[in-house]
Structure 1
Amino acid sequence: MPALTSDSTYELANATTAWPFPVTYLTTDIYTNTTLNPIQASINDFLDKIPMPRWLTVVLFVIGGVIILILIICICVKCCRKSKTKKEKKEKINLKGVSGGSTTALVQPDVADLNYGSSKKYRGKLLYSLEYNTTQSELTVGIKQADSLKAMDLGGSSDPYVKVYICPEKDKTCETKVLKNTLTPVFNEQFTFQITKDSLMQSTVVMQVYDFNRFSKHNIIGEIRLQLENFDWKSIIEEWQDLSEPSKHEEGNLGEICFSLRYVPTANKLTVVILEAKNLKPMDIGGSSDPYVKVQLTLDKRKWKKRKTSVKKKTLAPYFNESFTFTVTFEQIQRVNLVIAVWDYDTVSRNDAIGKIYLGCDASGNQLRHWADMLSNPRRPVAQWHSLLSTKQVNSTLNLKRKVPMPPKMPFK
């Protein structure tokens, strides 16, 4: 029997039972008792069966995994592009199917308006008429009706009205009445503009359809621009035309102002509250303004009473919330016009007028509607937003005379 080593003697001495097995079995048993995860053990067995070095096997598996990941990403990108292309084709087909339903006027666009009218969505169509009286130098624009207007309200409808003016002078702006909750309004209104034949050949008539909102900015649905030199004025012109996207080449808006009106007949009190303004035209070099508001009453085409708000520094969206009360009898309220003018205050130079709006007996469109709502709801304030017009336009329309003559004072006794 061979002699035992010291290590083997130690292991046999600590065993509870003498096992007649070689020492090599004991060393193998110690190796198998190490803590190995069953999954890891199976992976090791699988790698041992591959006839190549362990490091090379791991590298090949990593490269294969990266290639599979790249293939999956490429497939996903291709599918996304394919679905996007199908969606775009579907939208183009729908647009072509909608836009071919009405006849349009043969009007060549001006060079400045070559990029105008690229409408992506159908906005509706408008029936209008044009007539020019050479002897009286009058252009009559008739707004007949609209059809299939784009819905602008959450309920799927609109409150449309039409604004008409002539470029480039834009001395006069006319508005139709507002028709509630309809996409097929019938207006049947006519507006007359004084214009010579020479100016007519160089002018463009603009008809803009708006959606009325009392407490926010009125949203434009679409517009029609017609160069008047392209028409034969020997007969009345009447036709349908599709609305287009509003032109972006025209001078920007002057801004909007919100104010409330309240009239109490029993007390003969007219209260005007200037609430706020927004999107005002910048008048200073730094791109801002120092706005304030003048409130003026006119009686029988003559300047009568006026007040003004405080100045708000360096802002295009001032908040005023200032109230003014005037004594106006019920007989006078039928002959009064209210002029709201926004000015830019300058310390050194002369103050600049930003824009004006007027309401009253000579007003039309939204301005007349606001005034009528005030009269039909006595003792209740009626607030509304208005778009500012140019000072030249308002002054030429009102054509105010000198101040109202004051009654002579009674001599003291």
Structure 2
Amino acid sequence: MPAVQQPDPPTTPPWTTTRPNPANVSVSPLPAISSTTIHPTNATISPAEAFFNDLLNQIPLPRWAVYVIFAVGGLLIVICCLCVCTKCCCKEKKKKKKKDEQIGLTGVNGKSTTALIQSDGGEASYGSTKTYRGKLLYSLEYSAALSELTVGIKQASSLKAMDFGGSSDPYVKVYICPSKTKICETKVFKSTLNPVFNEQFSFQISKSALLKSTVVMKVFDFDRFSKHEIIGELRLELCSVDWNHVIEEWQELAEPAQFEEENLGEICFSLRYVPTASKLTVVILEAKNLKSMDMNGSSDPYVKVQLALDKRKWKKRKTSIKKKTLSPYFNESFTFDVTLSQIQRVNLVISVWDHDAVTRNDAMGKIYLGCDATGNQLRHWADMLSNPRRPVAQWHTLLTPQQVNSTLTLKKRIPIPGKLVENSQRFFPH
């Protein structure tokens, strides 16, 4: 019986299912995917890499921590190299600068040289280098009919920064030399190099004295707890001014002159006002750098505290006397009864005196605050009124008694009502 020939197996894999093709679209079978076997190649590792891997495996830290340590170490090395290079470059520049500053002097042997050495101190370099200190806009006007000079302080621009923050607290002092009987101050502007003042000050002066005088405008940097630093000044000789019209111009500030200023010292005191209790408390804290009044170069200072109401002497107190010192420490408190209506009409006069057991006591310096004050004195008084029940302390530079007396012009003491009645009965008996 002949063998029956079996049909060839289907080329379609058994796991595929045949779907009907209603659109009679011819579908070509996918080619068979031949599987290939990938054999890994053995990479050759150098001895250095093998040593480095063994070293890393011996460190008891995670691999990422080791990498971080190496990165930080490398960064520190780079920074150290940069610092060394910068220092070497600076040394080279300094050497070159010193070499350029050497000036040949023709001496006896013709070979002498000297180097220009500039001191860092302000005293040695005074007047040698010009530092830009800013500009000031001012005005001048003279009335011959009234014998009155009006000085206007308009504004300042691009002032020199005196504070660490790159700014200043400027204000301006104005006075006339050589008399210097009246010193005026503008308001203080906080944290600015371009203040706008717009203030005017009047001085009584004759035409003959005007032509021999100089107006001085000094710009200061205000500091509550230390000496105020001067930014710059203007000095104008009034004999060269054309008084036929009002003068208004900008001018650059110059270095302050190191003469004419008489240092009378400074005094620090605090003010406190309680409106509900009508109490004004003045605490005289200390003074420093007072003027020597005795032959031995010292003084015996004490302080008078005086209140003036409506330009009339009203109440006064004084501290104890400190023997043989120019920087006394007092810390003495005085309290006055001042109502809210009176505090707006009161002036406080602080004066430092030198005690003498044989002769008359001498006034060493004076300052006054209150409703008629200006500049730093008015600011201290305003700070006290705007901060009730809180003491406000500040240093003040003492002025000459003549300056304060001519500006304040106090009248005699207010007559006591009892004495008024007694005097009226004496002159007008019933």
Query: 1:280 deviation in Å?
Result: 1.4
Aligned partner of 2:48 in structure 1 is: none
- 1:296-345 deviation per Cα after TM superposition (whole angstroms, max 9, x unaligned): 00111111111111111222211111100011111111111100001111
Compute the displacement of 1:370 (Å): 0.8
**Mapped partners of 1:237, 1:168: distance in 2:** 22
SS in structure 2 at match of 1:166: strand
Matches within 5 A, 1:262-273: 262-273=272-283
Count matched residues.
311
| Correspondence for 1:153 among 163, 169, 177 | 163
- The one of 248, 255, 258 equivalent to 1:238 is 248
CA change 1:237–1:395 in 2 (3 A) is same
User: 1:397 — aligned with what?
Assistant: 407
Is residue 84 of structure 1 aligned with residue 98 of structure 2?
yes
Amino acid at match of 1:408: G
Partner of 1:261: 271
The 1:119–1:308 alpha-carbon spacing in structure 2 relative to 1, beyond 3 Å, is farther
- What residue in structure 2 maps to residue 382 of structure 1? 392
Asked whether the 8 Å contact 1:209–1:220 carries over to 2, the reply is yes
TM-score (normalised: structure 1): 0.71
Q: Go from structure 1 to structure 2 and tell me whether the alpha carbon gap of 1:351 and 1:193 turns closer, same or farther (over 3 Å shift).
A: same
**1:148-174 deviation line (CA, Å, top 9, x unaligned):** 111111111000000000011111111
Q: Return closer, same or farther for 1:117/1:79 CA change in 2, 3 Å cut-off.
A: closer
Alignment of 1:283-362 (within 5 A): 283-362=293-372
Q: Distance in 1 between the 2:302 and 2:398 partners? A: 14
- SS of equivalent to 1:253: coil
Q: Which structure has the larger Rg over C-alpha atoms?
A: 2
Q: Aligned partners of 2:223 and 2:261: how far apart in 1?
A: 23
Q: Aligned equivalents of 1:182 and 1:88: distance in 2? A: 41
How many angstroms does 1:122 deviate by? 1.6
Partner amino acid, structure 1, of 2:96: K
Change (3 A) 1:235 1:271: same
What is the distance in 2 between the residues matched to 1:340 and 1:87? 53
Alpha carbons of structure 1 residues 268 and 229: separation in structure 2 relative to 1, 3 Å: same
Q: In structure 2, how many angstroms separate the alpha carbons of the residues matched to 1:154 and 1:233?
A: 42
CA distance in structure 2 between the partners assigned to 1:233 and 1:119 by the alignment: 34
SS at match of 1:408: helix
Instruction: Rate the CA distance shift 1:379–1:80 in 2: closer, same or farther, 3 A.
Output: closer
C-alpha separation in 2, matches of 1:205 and 1:255: 24
Query: C-alpha distance in 2, partners of 1:362/1:148?
Result: 31
Alignment pair present for 1:170 and 2:180: yes
5 Å-filtered alignment, 1:127-276, equals 127-276=137-286
Q: 1:185 to 1:247 in 2, by over 3 A?
A: same
How much has 1:84 moved relative to structure 2? 3.0
Confirm or deny: 8 A CA contact 1:116 1:246 kept in the other structure. Answer: no
Give me the whole-angstrom Cα distance separating, in 1, the residues matched to 2:100 and 2:159.
28
User: What secondary structure, in the 3-state scheme, does the structure 2 residue paired with 1:311 have?
Assistant: coil
- Checking the alignment, whether the CA contact within 8 Å between 1:119 and 1:244 is kept in structure 2 is no
How far 1:120 moved relative to its partner?
3.4
| Rounded Cα–Cα distance in structure 2 between residues aligned with 1:227 and 1:406 | 49
* Bigger RCO (CA 8 Å, 6+ sep): 1
Cα-to-partner distance string for 1:264-322 (whole Å, 9 max, x where unaligned): 11111100000111121211222222111000001111111111111112222111111
Name the Cα RMSD after superposition.
2.4
Q: What one-letter code is carried by the residue in structure 2 that aligns with 1:328? A: V
CA–CA distance in structure 1, aligned partners of residues 170 and 353 of structure 2: 30
**Residues 85 and 297 from structure 1, CA distance in 2 versus in 1: closer, same or farther, beyond 3 angstroms?**
farther
Q: Distance in 2 between matches of 1:230 and 1:273?
A: 48
Give the 3-state SS of the residue equivalent to 1:312 in structure 2. coil
Q: How far 1:408 sits from its partner (Å)?
A: 2.2
Q: Would the alpha carbon gap of residues 215 and 251 (structure 1) be closer, same or farther in structure 2, given more than 3 Å must change?
A: closer
Point out where structure 1 has 5 or more consecutive residues left out of the alignment.
1-76, 90-114
Cα drift, residue 216 of structure 1: 1.2
1:367/1:78 Cα in 2 relative to 1: closer, same or farther (>3 Å)?
Answer: closer
Residue aligning to 1:60:
none
3-state SS of paired residue (2:417): coil
Query: Closer, same or farther in 2 for the Cα pair 1:325/1:274, shift >3 Å?
Result: same
- Equivalent position SS for 2:383: helix
Aligned-pair identity (%): 75
Q: Does 1:406 align with 2:420?
A: no
CA distance in 2, matches of 1:178, 1:78: 46
Superposed structure 1 runs of 4+ greater than 4 Å apart: 77-81, 85-89, 115-119
Higher relative helix content? 1
Listed one character per residue, the Cα deviations across residues 39-66 of structure 1 (whole Å, up to 9, x for unaligned) are xxxxxxxxxxxxxxxxxxxxxxxxxxxx
Q: Which amino acid aligns with 1:274?
A: I
Give the drift of 1:406.
2.1
